[in-house]
Amino acid sequence: MRFGVNTWVWVSPLTADELKRLAPLVKGMGFDWIEVPLESLSDLDHKAGAKIIADQGLGVSTCAAMGPDRDLVHPDPAIQANGMDYIRGCIDATQALGGTNLVGPIYSAVGRVWQQTAEERAKDVDTLVKNLRSLSEYAGDRGVVLGIEPLNRFETSFINLSTQVVEVVDRVAHPSCRIMLDTFHMNIEEKSLGAAIRAAGPRLCHLHACENDRGAPGSGNVTWNEVAAALRDIGYDGPVVIESFTNKVKSIARAAAIWRPFEASQDALAQNGVNFLKKLLAA
């Protein structure tokens, strides 16, 4: 496994200057992976970012930020089209950065919730499958894999469970469309974190290892031994990435409902988290 951290732990947005500061810090903490948020495709020169990351010997993944005007199942065709353009841009950015995995809730805007009948949901799933199939073909041509992430009920009403994302990914039926799971969201929605991981099985390409309060993994009530056993059972050997946020960056703090610090410092959150995860998931 590769152990990583998302730069949202410290900053938003991520610029080249911030990446120059953070990449050696991340490496020095014992991580071998860094995750780059793509809030805007213009925040970071991606080729320059690739060199900064490669110079530290780090692996890299990216995560999409789905906002109100980026939505693959929105009833407004213009918003759908903008969402498709944004994800294609994210795929290009991932390739330029030297990464493979582009992960996140690649379906609808975070925070958009809407009630659906069974028929309405089926129609939205049909739309998503069609759009993800097109994006997967684009990604596959560029050596990129999409990791589709379920979110908790407060952030979406559409895909909350591992079994729901399995249905979508199996219908897309493309090797560049796989699954990302996040223990923060799973801890809210799943009856069993282990069962959710086993349901994803070989489709799982990425894991966000996050505590129930977004603090350092190992400091809360996530059933980590159950997570570790399930990852071993499915033979998972992909990235394990800590995703948390700083309350100092107001835009992302509001979106993620981060109102207070979770550890003595953001550095402590990352360091304590990676120490715990390496011990937990040691071969």
Alpha-carbon torsion 62, 279, 236, 166, what sign? negative
% pLDDT > 70, the chain: 99
pLDDT reading at 17 higher than 80: yes
pLDDT reading at 54 higher than 80: yes
Q: Known catalytic residue: 226?
A: no
pLDDT reading at 254 higher than 80: no
- Please give the C-alpha separations between residue 101 and each of 32, 36, 63, 177, 265, in angstroms, as whole numbers: 15, 11, 8, 10, 28
Q: Please state, rounded to an integer, the average pLDDT across all residues of the chain.
A: 96
Q: Known catalytic residue: 243?
A: yes
| pLDDT tens-place string over residues 76-99 | 999 999 999 999 999 999 999 999
Question: Where does the pLDDT of residue 139 fall: very low under 50, low under 70, confident under 90, or very high at 90 and above?
Answer: very high
Question: Where does the pLDDT of residue 149 fall: very low under 50, low under 70, confident under 90, or very high at 90 and above?
Answer: very high
pLDDT reading at 270 higher than 80: yes
Residue 246: predicted pLDDT: 85
Q: Which of 39, 155, 190, 243 is catalytic?
A: 243
Q: What whole-number distance in Å separates Cα of residue 176 and Cα of residue 168?
A: 13
pTM: 0.97
Q: Which of 35, 149, 190, 211 is catalytic?
A: 149
Residue 250: predicted pLDDT: 67
Note the CATH architecture for domain 2-280: Alpha-Beta Barrel (3.20)
Percentages helix, strand, coil for the chain (3-state, rounded to 5) are: 45, 15, 40
Q: Mean per-residue pLDDT for 38-56?
A: 97
Question: Where does the pLDDT of residue 283 fall: very low under 50, low under 70, confident under 90, or very high at 90 and above?
Answer: low
Q: Mean per-residue pLDDT for 176-189?
A: 98
Q: What whole-number distance in Å separates Cα of residue 187 and Cα of residue 225?
A: 13
Q: Which residues pair with 61 in a beta bridge?
A: 35
Helices 118-140, 162-172: axis angle to 10 degrees equals: 60
**Long-range contact list for 158-164, CB < 8 A, 24+ apart?**
158/73, 158/107, 158/108, 158/121, 158/124, 159/105, 159/107, 160/185, 160/189, 161/189, 161/190, 161/196, 162/186, 162/190, 162/195, 162/196, 162/197, 162/199, 162/200, 163/196, 163/199
Q: What angle do CA 235, 35, 171 make, to 5 degrees?
A: 55
* Cβ neighbours for 27, distance < 8 A, ≥ 6 positions apart: 56, 57, 58
Question: Where does the pLDDT of residue 133 fall: very low under 50, low under 70, confident under 90, or very high at 90 and above?
Answer: very high
Domains of the chain by residue range: 2-280
β-pairing verdict for 101-104 and 204-208: unpaired
Q: Mean per-residue pLDDT for 215-241?
A: 98
pLDDT reading at 177 higher than 90: yes
pLDDT reading at 138 higher than 70: yes
